[in-house]
Each structure stands twice: as structure tokens, then as C-alpha cells.
Amino acid sequence: MNKTSIFLTLIVISALSLFFISCKEKKDNPDNMMNLPPLKEQFGEYFDIGNIFNPGDMSGGRINNQRLTRHYNILTAENDMKPHRLNPSRGTFNFITADNMVNSAISSGFKVLGHTLLWHSQIPQWQVNLRTDNTSKENALNQMREYITRIVTHFKGRVYAWDVLNEVFPDDRFFEDTNWREVMRAGPQGNPWYIKIGADFVYEGFLAARLADPDAILYYNDFNLNNPGKALMVHNMVRDVNAQYAQDYPGAGLLIQGIGMQSHHNITVSAKSIRDSLELFEPLGVLIAISELDVLSQSYGDFSRIPYTPPTEQGKTRAADLYGEYFEVFLEYADIIERVTFWGVYDEQSWRSRGLPLIFEGRVRSKAKPAYFNIIEALEVFQAK
């Protein structure tokens, strides 16, 4: 044999062995997520299925993470489109990483959400300073408008929706008939725009985004919206801001068009509490996004306790069951839910990894956990009705 035929034989042998290994892999690992039918197709007629992405998920202008391309059709940057990244200092914008991510996602067929513009966390120093410096209200308002206009205009036509305002209501209070304008996050960790401008910043912020990109869907996004008091505050804010817009711009539709329910849950969160909030939000006529779903396999108390104790078997089963119950509710409200985005693909990658909060596990090969099979069962039951 000459060199060329030895070379060719070797190539054929390697190709054949790869083929057999991958067949065996498929047979032995039916729960490997790369062998499962794409979630985005299974849920296709009801809502989009999303996940988060990071710079490491792309190369050569495409999303190269096969786990993402197989199962999801919409992406949220986990950190790279937050205020501190896009606008590190006043007047200085850094769009390089975010542009690369957004363009790669679009080239690979994904829709992209912009996350997020007005927040109290992961913000640049100049926004931190607004909490305490002597910038006038008028100046702050202009700075906010400029900041929003610059970013939203930059991504116009590429980002299909924006989380304009994130987490403005605190979590440690019991709200009943409270006026939403008076109870937003203030104090040393508060939302700087609220502290400086007052509650009008909500209307003004959304308006600036609307003017910069009339086609983007504008969202308010928050966690624990299964908490009835917090949900009521969000409901009232959206109702009032949209009423003001209807007065100022008759016939222009809604200003806040969507509510993002982050859904960073744990085993104490009942499906009923989520359904109740959906019922509350429905008459507002807004879209709902389940925007950052993960469910700890333990209570939040156990998750944050020192010393830390890992989830029990019982906790894991409870979280898996809850995933199924939540999806029953999501499907019931599929008419208004436009997307269900998970905050991570597999447990080891999660920002709350030790609480085992996702539906897949395994860093090298991710396989489906019982939670995955429970959400598919919820789908089958729903379709059989």
C-alpha cells in the first residue's frame, strides 16, 4: 500500500468508529439532551423556548453551542447587555461583545431579548453615584433619556424586545393597598433613577425606549411575581403608566407591553400562586414572558443557610414535580405567554448551581432530569385534552 491509501483507510476507519460510537451513545443515552426532540419544536405552537448565552457560546459569527441551537429559539445575554457592560462610564459605550453576541444569535436563527436598561444592580459607577450626588432631577432625566436612546437605537431592528425596567419593587415588604409610586427600591441599594427622578422615571424611561424603537416589545421584568402583593404593585404600575400613555398618545397602544415573570423559584412556590398572578395580569392586555426560569431543589432558606446543606432526594423530586405543574399553568395561559426562557441549560452552569435548579444536568454531556420528563408529560396531557 502506498501512503495515500494508508491515509484513506485510516480516515474511513475513524469515520466508521465515530459513527458507531455515536449510534451507541444514542442507544445507551436516550436521555442525552442532544438525542431528545427539540424543546422549541415540541412547544412551538404555544410559546418560544429560550435560554441564556455568554461570549463563550459563539465563534465565527455563529452560536456554536449545540445545546442552545438544538433546543432553544430565543436568547438572553446572561450578563453582557447589562448597564455596567454597555455603558461602563458616562458617555462611553462598549458595544463590541454585545454586538458580536446579538449578531451571532441572529445569524444562527435566534431572536434576542435586550436585558436590561434600568436597574439597581450591575450598573456603572456613574449610575451608582446618582443615588447620592447633587445632579438635578432635570439633568438626571436627560441623562436617562440619552442613555436609553443611545442603547435602544444601537440595537434597533436586531433586538425584538427590551427589559426596560428590572426589579424596581423590593421583596421584603408586604404590599396591600399601597401606592406603587411610593414603594420602589430606594436607599443605598435602590434604583438610582427612582431615587433621583421619582416614580415618573418609569413613564419617561419606557417612553424614551418606545421613541427609539417603535417596533420593540417593551417589558417590565421582576422576580417573585407569584407574591400577590408584589404582583399587585406591578399590575397597578403597568395599568397607570399605560393609562397615562393612552391619554398623551391616543390610539398608540400600550407603552408597557409585557410583564416578565423571572421565575427564580424554589420548592415552596406553588403553581397556584403563579396562576393567580397570571389571572391578575391578564386583563391588562399585556404579553407575559416567563423570563428567567429556574427552580431550586430546596427552599430558599435552605439554599442560603450557612453552613450549607445540599438538596435532599425529596427536594429534588418536589422540584421536578413543580416543573410539571408550572408548565401545566404556562400552557393554560399560552395565549398570553410569548416565551419561556430558562436561566441556564444544565445545573453545573447555573448561577444557583448548588440548588440543582435546571432541567438538564452534566457539564460534558447534559442529560435530562425528571423535571424534563415532567414538562413533556404536562405538554402531552394538555394536547390530549
Catalytic amino acids?
Answer: 167, 222, 292
Nearer to ligand XIL, 46 or 169 (CB): 169
Rounded to 5 degrees, φ, ψ at 259 are -115, 125
Nearer to ligand XIL, 297 or 350 (CB): 350
Burial of 183 (0-12, 13-18, 19+ CB in 10 A): middle
Write down the least CB distance from residue 279 to ligand XIL, Å. 24
Contact call for residues 275 and 332 (beta carbons, < 8 A)? yes
Instruction: Tell whether residue 242 is a contact of ligand XIL (CB under 6 A).
Output: no
Rounded to 5 degrees, φ, ψ at 349 are -90, -15
Instruction: Tell whether residue 57 is a contact of ligand XIL (CB under 6 A).
Output: no
Rounded to 5 degrees, φ, ψ at 249 are -130, 75
Contact call for residues 315 and 267 (beta carbons, < 8 A)? yes
- For residues 300 to 339, the per-residue mask of contacts with ligand XIL, x marking binding by CB under 6 A and - elsewhere, is ----------------------------------------
Say how many residues make up the chain: 385
List the interface residues with ligand XIL, window 285-304 (CB under 6 A). 292
- For residues 183 to 222, the per-residue mask of contacts with ligand XIL, x marking binding by CB under 6 A and - elsewhere, is ----------------------------------------
How many Cβ atoms from other residues are within 10 Å of residue 176's Cβ?
9
Give dist(CA 204, CA 197) in Å, integer: 10
Interface with ligand XIL (CB under 6 A), residue from 79, 94, 135, 273: 79
List the interface residues with ligand XIL, window 32-51 (CB under 6 A). none
Write down the least CB distance from residue 375 to ligand XIL, Å. 21
Indicate the SS3 state at residue 116.
Answer: strand
**Residue 92 DSSP one-character state:** B
- For residues 105 to 144, the per-residue mask of contacts with ligand XIL, x marking binding by CB under 6 A and - elsewhere, is ----------------------------------------
What phi-psi label fits residue 362: left (phi over 0), alpha (psi between -120 and 50 degrees) or beta?
Answer: left
The C-alpha cell at 375 is 414538562
Instruction: Tell whether residue 351 is a contact of ligand XIL (CB under 6 A).
Output: yes
Interface with ligand XIL (CB under 6 A), residue from 104, 224, 262, 298: 262
Task: Quote the crossing angle between the two packed helices 271-281 and 228-248, to the nearest 10°.
Answer: 20
Instruction: Tell whether residue 78 is a contact of ligand XIL (CB under 6 A).
Output: yes
- For residues 149 to 178, the per-residue mask of contacts with ligand XIL, x marking binding by CB under 6 A and - elsewhere, is -----------------x------------
